[in-house]
Amino acid sequence: MKRILTDFISKFKKFDENEIAAIVENTQIESFKKGALILKEGNICNKCYFVLKGCVRQFQLVNGEEKTTAFFIEGQAAVLYSSYLENSPSKYYLSCVEDCILTTGTREQEKELHKKYPKLEYLVHTLMPQDYAKAQERISLLNNYNPEERYLILMETQAELLNRVPLHQIASYIGVTPESFSRIRKRILKKEKST
């Protein structure tokens, strides 16, 4: 498991071998089974998760129905920043769509690591804007495109999710019922066959 983290940090070309080894040694890595709930709505997100392997889903319960709001895959932080940074109750759930290997760390552990290895701030400042951009893209997707266009954009930008995530969760993510999603997929397939 530590090899995966070593390989990820090495990609940034900011750290020498000794720094990488020390960071990996001081980072907690945990395995979670598919279906594991790692954060419940109403609880405080007191850990920052980073996906080394697997897929984590963020969702809300609205009138008893799960509404998927994000997916996090390898190389992405799965953290609810408002809850994590402000120590406030989470409005979302985080669950593992697949068996996952995640780094897990508290705010205090993160601060300690940053003190020891200031270059780690670079990683945080690289990853946080990516998360913000992802949230902005999601808002744009829901506000500016119809469901079929949303699905086509998803196919174009995050095609790997289609093979990793149950279709009813994809339907929820693009804001449609599983039945509507099935019709959208059939229409697109029909169009592709006719061209």
Task: Give the pLDDT score at 132.
Answer: 62
Task: Clarify whether residues 38 and 117 are in a common domain.
Answer: yes
- Here the CATH number for the domain that contains residue 24 is 2.60.120.10
| % of the chain residues with pLDDT over 70 | 92
Domain count across the chain: 2
Task: Give the pLDDT score at 125.
Answer: 64
Task: Give the pLDDT score at 61.
Answer: 93
Task: Clarify whether residues 96 and 150 are in a common domain.
Answer: no
pTM (two decimals)? 0.85
Task: Clarify whether residues 127 and 166 are in a common domain.
Answer: no
Task: Clarify whether residues 166 and 122 are in a common domain.
Answer: no
Task: Clarify whether residues 150 and 105 are in a common domain.
Answer: no
Task: Give the pLDDT score at 164.
Answer: 96
Containing structural domain, residue 107: 2-138
SS (H, E, C) the chain: CHHHHHHHHHCCCCCCHHHHHHHHHCCCEEEECCCCEEECCCCECCCEEEEEECCEEEEEEECCEEEEEEEECCCCEECCHHHHHHCCECCCEEEECCCEEEEEECHHHHHHHHHHCCCHHHHHHHHHHHHHHHHHHHHHHHHHCCHHHHHHHHHHHCHHHHHCCCHHHHHHHHCCCHHHHHHHHHHHHHHHHHC
Task: Clarify whether residues 17 and 107 are in a common domain.
Answer: yes
Task: Give the pLDDT score at 122.
Answer: 64
Task: Give the pLDDT score at 129.
Answer: 58
Task: Clarify whether residues 128 and 169 are in a common domain.
Answer: no
Task: Give the pLDDT score at 101.
Answer: 95
pLDDT < 50 stretches in the chain? none
